[in-house]
Structure 1
Amino acid sequence: MPRYRYQKESTSSSLLARLVKWCFVLGLWAALVVGGILAWYARELPDIIDNPKFERKASITVLANDDSVIARYGDIKGNNVSANHIPKNLANAILATEDRRFYYHFGLDPIGLVRAVIVNFTHKGVVQGGSTITQQLAKNLFLSQERTFKRKLQEAMLAVWLEHKLTKDEILASYMNRVYLGAGTYGVEAASRVYFQKPVSDLNLQQAAILAGLLKAPSRYSPLSNPAESEKRAKVVLSAMVDAGYISSKEAARASQIKLDRKVVSAVGQSSHYFSDWVVDSLDNVIGIPKEDIIVKTTMDPQVQESTANILKTEVETNGKKFNVSQAASIVLRPDGSIVALVGGVDYNKSEYNRVTQGLRQPGSSFKPFVYLAAIEQGANEYTPVLDAPIKIGKYAPQNFGGKYYGDITLIDALTLSLNTVSVRIAQAVGVDNVINVARRAGITADLEPNLSLALGSSEVPMPEMAQAYATLNNGGYAVQAYGIQTIKTATGKTLFEHKQEPSPRVFRDTDIQVLTNMMMSVVQNGTGQGARSPFFVAGKTGTTQDHRDAWFDGFSRDYIAVVWFGNDNNSSMKSSMTGGAVPARAWKQIITAAKTDPTPSPYQLMKGESQIENDFSNLLGNLMAEPLPKLNEDGTQPPRTGYGLTPVPTFTPDKPGDKVGYKRLND
């Protein structure tokens, strides 16, 4: 028995030894693998120095055309918080919600991560963060915002490095000076002055809790735009401070009872960020990354921006359910191309996505003027006849909206009624390449598919390009380049950039533009765009894409060019009654009227019916029509016609002898 016991003990010892050996070997290999991965990722870490001095980012102040401030970006309005003067209440509020074990870990905190998971699960929401403040600072200083395993490892390595190089107070101060807190502010000092008009050292407990609450979602919990949500979040922060032992329950209760000063934020205060974001994003192409504080003066007109934003928001709120529409956007230009309003959506706080500059939608029939202009350049005029009838070209069989066809019709009436088959016949006759050439000269640079469906606006075009193309039409055929920046200067007054208006080349003949403008005036006076009809000169075109996914009205008055879009971000269909001539045309009229348009008569009077161009475009279309329409009357009008309900009537009385008399058509 003793011998058996000895053998059993010997066997057990041997198994234990082998287990220890294999654990050691596996541990060694694991260490080598992890070390290799860390070494590999460390090779791609950004350059860091032995004694880092984390300077604040250059500030960017964006001004409207009247020098009022639109927005600020970067570290603004005040000095950095020093490590020796960290505001106690604010620091405790941040530590309570972001990193309670900050003064006890080495940059990484496995215990804190587990605790955060438990606390957040208990509260059924995010109360505590998982990353340490040191990790967040490392990400802010050196890394991109991508969420990958590689970036998390690099973040961890940099966090440990920061803990070795800086004191805890220096890390906390650096974090507080660089964190983004909404409203274009980076750092607690800037945020304190923007939100509360006081230095961060003067904040009370409730205000400190509000600032700390912004770390989770700056837009959602903004005390300016969402005061109720801001107060709720502040109470969560105060509760966390009580749990962490920083304040008592009575102190938290007293702070919660303080009423927040609810500042009213106008529509321009929100919608203007669509404009300023676009301007700031474009700076890299203008002056590169700013290395010092700069002031950017834009072309934005605060009055036009605010009224445009309010109009779009009201229309969506009023008609959203009726038409199944949730979004709208608009861009407004002056004739020289200066952008005076750019509203990328109905609510910047809910969606910073800029549908004007980032969206890419089909323009639908609002593209048709460029198809007609290609015909006019080849000799057509308002009264050139063409056939409106079902057409099939290969497998392509476009149809008119509503399925109605008018037979023999003039070009002005075809555009007025936005007849699809006529637009396709024109594109086929003049050539799609010529249509694209016209669009290019007008200012459209987007990819345009060289097929006949282009005649119906099937190719996606950015809104700014449509606006500048219509501006070229409004400018008598001289090219217009849309722009939004007037000057860029340093804080000391040095000019880095100044927009200079260069002479615009003529890209279309004035007579051709007059013919097209006459036709686009008829769209508003008699046709699909009557919702935009105004007591002053207006010309434009409606647009509705397939399945009613987009509804447009693009047009111009004497002083402004505007493009208006309604639709849904998920590209879902609106109701069939939602066309460009409905809400978009009405909104467009309100926008132009609110912009204080010059109420003088049209700079273009409707021309007499006979073409003044030598080549005769009607011959080109001869094979596409049934038979010529009746000749013009001596006064330049056409005889009354039946079939599509349009009859000529005088537009206005000449101001003085010798002025030409134009004609318009009204629906019966």
Structure 2
Amino acid sequence: MNYSKDSCSKKMQDSNKNTKKKKTKKAKVTTFRVIVITLVIGLFAIVGSGLGILVGIIKSAPDVSTINIKPTTDYTSFVYDENGTEIDTLSSGENRIYAKLDQIPKHLQEAVIAIEDARFYEHNGIDLLGIMRAIVKNLKAGEIVEGASTITQQVIKNNALTSDQTFVRKIQEQYLALQIDALYEKDLILEYYLNTMPLGHGTNGVQAAAKRYFGKDVSELTLAESVVIAGITQAPTRYSPIRNPENNFEKSKVILSYMVEQGYITEEERQAALLENPYKNIQEVNNQYEQQDSVHSYFVDAVIEQVISDLQTKKGMTATQANNLLFGGGVEIYTTLNQDMQKIVDDKMDDDSLFPSYKEYVINYSATITKADGTTVNKWAEGVLQSDSEAEIENFKKAKQATWELAEGDTIVESVQLVPQAQAAFVIMDQYNGHVKALSGGRGEKYGDRTFNRATQAKRQPGSTFKVLASYAPALDTGLLSPGSIIVDEPYTIGKYTPKNWRSYFKGPTTVREGIWDSMNILAVKAVEMVGIETAYNYLLNFGFTTLSDQDKVYALPLGGITDGVTPLELNAAYAAIANQGSYTKPILYTQVLDRDKQVLLDNSVPETHTVIKASTASMLTDMMEDVIKIGTGGKAGVGLNMPVAGKTGTTSDNKDFIFAGYTPYYTATVWMGYDRPQPFTNKSAHLNLWASIMSEIHKNLPKKEFELITTGYTKTSICAASGKIPTELCKLDPEHKIVSDYFQKNHAPTEECDIHVQEQVCTVSGKIATEFCPEETVKTRVVTRTSSSQVKPEDLCDVHTQALVPEEPELPELEGWPWPDEPSQENPEETPTPPIETPEETPVTPETPSTDNPDGENGFFIPQS
């Protein structure tokens, strides 16, 4: 569409030729309109910065001769997979069906005018009184809070301008409204509006709404049904006759009152409409609608949302314009979907054996009860069932109905939805070009189109998957740490925050590598302290996360303690950036959108990319995250894959969210598992089993490849795992700490020999440093670690042998006159009494080194929330 002001054409498009006013006078601005325009410009000059700016705004508006305000209605759009095979169609019948004005009941036209634009047939495209009122309110608020839009302006907004609430758009809209009003009959403008107005639940226009809510043609609507529809457009969710019928009824009463005041209906007609009760059939029609097979998959739903968003941001369309084009504009959408991969994902998501065995169902039960006197009551209830059996469903319904005070003669129209729990989401993409190959937004029956998509819309806590992204990626990338760098795992407090490990003890000096594969919280928080919260946060933004806020700048950040959570799609893209040697690619679901003339409307074939971390940083992270699968917390994710796997597990401290983000040399995939209403569950490996099951199928026929290892700026060096220094011969004799080889940046490689391993005399009974009281047979020479040069503490000494073993003095009988001094024994005349045995004084012994004790921990994560 040509929006250039330089266009000299004075003819309208062919589709508009028969829609112009048949006027004998010239289509020009009358004296009255000149006054109106002058007033409008003068009023907005108060808000703007001068007449010159306003003139520039008006000149930048679209040329009225190039604007086509007639809705596009009758062209089917097509959706294709990555190979150009048709997978779905989008038709105007889904959300909009065009109706001529003479097909639309007069009372529906009048209801819309009464609530939307009472002076529609009197003004010249703009409502001067409404503008004055809005300007006062906007000046008081300092921003646009009221627009005073007329029906003419709404038609222009829906078909020619963006929906941005800015003064620039508002001035252009009012300027064009004056010209459109001079070119088109009022009835035709109203017809266009009635066919484009948003009416909730994916419907645009009164004909589609009549079928969606009442199951009838728009021409058959009664007065009461008409005001139900007219009341939706101002706030489609709040005034939904399905979800919020009470709100809609209140709005309907307002509209009926306006219609009486404006002379469209009598008071008697208003009273009759209030008694009609149009809601009695809505739930029944909705139930039939939702029981229809879902037309679109989660993948196609996601494509639709992305295309509509891109049409707004890249083409300046309104949401209504984008919807109209997609559903009825005859466009062709070429997606990145791989049908074979999608089938694997769908099959595995339907496999109950891959999910926790304690299956539950969330039941959503809605009903419209019609009383004997004709009044209706709308009820809704939610609960949890232990099975999907008809008996349990009926028991739930009866229990709820018992609280609803049903009486004899009442009728009920009901709708039941069952959503299995635990739920899951899965997304897989090609890390090298950003193409999303398959995704699933949930398991179980999909109710309707464009429903909640857990893969692209669910924001859940990422847990320890953020350790790599917020802690170690920036720490390595900024040169603060290396894979072999030592961080001490110990009790630790920073500010008022005291993180805890998921194990019940502390390991002491630990390498970054082990901190990753063993998912150690203290190390991750210490790494963020080194990097700085601001830097860590900025790295996350660079990794593509859009759901973070300044409130997330806390030291719990690397443990996934964030305010709103992240989506599986964005988390997957972040890990794909590591898999792609540090280059982030914005995930895309389609490559091109062509209009019905085969011209490129949107080109997404060259994705948005930028560098997040150095290639060597990404390579080191991959190398360390391979250990997560080989020896760490994510071992089950590699089952069945004859392919290298790198990734990171994430589990919240309350066991409500289980996540794994991982990749192979081919693809990056992320799985989330949990309950829709967050609650803990104990199967901590189900999500890993699901990930492995899907990925092993996808990789089954792919040649085995290795990750490319880029070591630029790094050297591999052997170190003592206890000290992080150059190992000595004594280090080799330590049974508790091994000598390991790891990568170091040049300024991190150790230059000093280990000085904490020493030889000590150890008591084999207590395992502590021997004292002089320990029997010789229990004392052995062993290598132990000495964490400081200070003297050994008393608690490091053997506490089993505490004094010399001496014979006890025999207890003698008490005899009269005993002992007899200076008299020899009768039996042994030469013997003299034995003096008491004296025990020598104890002297403190100061051994050189205590030994360390590292008992095994327990499996499970503890991740505090911010």
What TM-score comes out, normalization by structure 2 length? 0.46
Q: 1:410 to 1:239 in 2, by over 3 A?
A: same
Q: SS of the residue aligned with 1:94?
A: helix
The CA deviation at 1:419 is 1.4
Q: Deviations over 1:593-624 (max 9, x none)?
A: 6899559799799xxxxxxx961263698359
Q: SS of the residue aligned with 1:91?
A: helix
Contact 1:189 1:200 in 2 (8 A): yes
Q: 1:134 to 1:565 in 2, by over 3 A?
A: farther
The reply to whether residue 260 of structure 1 matches residue 260 of structure 2 is no
Q: 1:563 to 1:631 in 2, by over 3 A?
A: same
The reply to whether residue 561 of structure 1 matches residue 682 of structure 2 is no
Alignment gaps of 5+ in structure 2: 1-36, 48-53, 132-146, 364-381, 385-422, 707-713, 742-851, 862-866
> Which of residues 439, 445, 449 is equivalent to 1:341?
439
The separation in 2 between residues aligned to 1:254 and 1:54, in whole angstroms, is: 36
Q: 1:583 to 1:287 in 2, by over 3 A?
A: farther
Equivalent residue letter for 1:264: E
Aligned twin of 2:572? 467
The CA deviation at 1:169 is 1.0
Contact 1:398 1:420 in 2 (8 A): yes
The separation in 1 between residues aligned to 2:103 and 2:700, in whole angstroms, is: 63
What TM-score comes out, normalization by structure 1 length? 0.57
The reply to whether residue 616 of structure 1 matches residue 746 of structure 2 is no
Contact 2:720 2:738 in 1 (8 A): no
Q: Deviations over 1:189-210 (max 9, x none)?
A: 5656777898756778787566
Equivalent residue letter for 1:562: T
The separation in 2 between residues aligned to 1:269 and 1:49, in whole angstroms, is: 37
Aligned twin of 1:9? none
Q: 1:171 to 1:504 in 2, by over 3 A?
A: closer
Equivalent residue letter for 2:467: K
Aligned twin of 1:279? 307
Q: 1:52 to 1:400 in 2, by over 3 A?
A: closer
> Which of residues 40, 43, 64 is equivalent to 1:37?
43
Aligned twin of 2:622? 513
Contact 1:466 1:563 in 2 (8 A): no
Aligned twin of 2:593? 488
Contact 1:330 1:564 in 2 (8 A): yes
Equivalent residue letter for 1:56: P
Contact 2:197 2:204 in 1 (8 A): yes
Equivalent residue letter for 1:338: H
Q: 1:52 to 1:136 in 2, by over 3 A?
A: same
Contact 1:343 1:356 in 2 (8 A): yes
The CA deviation at 1:561 is 0.9
The CA deviation at 1:486 is 3.5
The reply to whether residue 177 of structure 1 matches residue 205 of structure 2 is no
Aligned twin of 1:133? 151
Aligned twin of 1:660? none
Q: SS of the residue aligned with 1:217?
A: coil
Q: Deviations over 1:335-387 (max 9, x none)?
A: 4543333759x9999x9999987999985531334666887999858xx9864
The reply to whether residue 296 of structure 1 matches residue 333 of structure 2 is yes
Q: 1:432 to 1:624 in 2, by over 3 A?
A: farther
Q: SS of the residue aligned with 1:260?
A: helix
Larger deviation: 459-468 or 503-512?
A: 503-512
Q: 1 or 2 for the larger relative contact order (CA 8 Å, sep ≥6)? A: 1
Q: 1:405 to 1:206 in 2, by over 3 A?
A: same
The reply to whether residue 419 of structure 1 matches residue 434 of structure 2 is no
Contact 1:138 1:155 in 2 (8 A): yes
Residues 52-451 of structure 1 mapped to structure 2, 5 A cutoff: 54-56=69-71, 61=77, 63=79, 65=81, 67-69=86-88, 81-82=99-100, 86=104, 88=106, 90-95=108-113, 97-99=115-117, 102-103=120-121, 133-134=151-152, 136-137=154-155, 140=158, 145=163, 165-188=183-206, 211-219=229-237, 226=243, 244-245=264-265, 249=272, 253=276, 258=281, 260=285, 262-264=288-290, 273=301, 276-283=304-311, 293-299=330-336, 332-336=427-431, 337-339=434-436, 340-341=438-439, 365-369=464-468, 380=483, 387-390=488-491, 399-400=500-501, 404-407=505-508, 414-423=515-524
Q: SS of the residue aligned with 1:245?
A: coil
Larger deviation: 132-141 or 227-236?
A: 227-236
Give the structure with higher Rg (CA). 2
Aligned pair count reads: 568
Contact 2:463 2:659 in 1 (8 A): no
Larger deviation: 370-379 or 214-223?
A: 370-379
The separation in 1 between residues aligned to 2:216 and 2:721, in whole angstroms, is: 73
The separation in 1 between residues aligned to 2:174 and 2:314, in whole angstroms, is: 36
Aligned twin of 1:643? 854
Q: SS of the residue aligned with 1:170?
A: helix
Q: 1:317 to 1:445 in 2, by over 3 A?
A: closer
More helix by share: 1
Q: Deviations over 1:468-507 (max 9, x none)?
A: 2423566899987632213322224455647379999994
Contact 2:64 2:179 in 1 (8 A): no
Q: SS of the residue aligned with 1:488?
A: strand
Equivalent residue letter for 1:37: L
After superposition, the CA RMSD in angstroms is 7.1
Contact 1:379 1:615 in 2 (8 A): no
Equivalent residue letter for 1:263: Y
Q: Deviations over 1:48-96 (max 9, x none)?
A: 6489752436999584747454877999765x55566655464245345
The separation in 1 between residues aligned to 2:604 and 2:42, in whole angstroms, is: 52
Aligned twin of 1:117? none
Contact 2:199 2:233 in 1 (8 A): yes
The CA deviation at 1:467 is 1.1
Equivalent residue letter for 2:334: K
Alignment gaps of 5+ in structure 1: 1-30, 114-128, 323-327, 569-573, 606-612, 648-664
Q: 1:317 to 1:369 in 2, by over 3 A?
A: farther
Aligned twin of 1:656? none
The separation in 1 between residues aligned to 2:213 and 2:119, in whole angstroms, is: 29
Contact 2:238 2:244 in 1 (8 A): no
Q: Deviations over 1:274-315 (max 9, x none)?
A: 653233323567788689752323346787589989999x99
The separation in 2 between residues aligned to 1:386 and 1:199, in whole angstroms, is: 71
Q: How much identity, in percent, do the aligned residues show? A: 23
Q: 1:142 to 1:53 in 2, by over 3 A?
A: closer
Contact 2:461 2:561 in 1 (8 A): yes
Q: SS of the residue aligned with 1:516?
A: helix
Equivalent residue letter for 1:179: M
The separation in 1 between residues aligned to 2:290 and 2:586, in whole angstroms, is: 36
Q: 1:566 to 1:217 in 2, by over 3 A?
A: farther
The separation in 1 between residues aligned to 2:314 and 2:348, in whole angstroms, is: 29
Q: SS of the residue aligned with 1:556?
A: strand
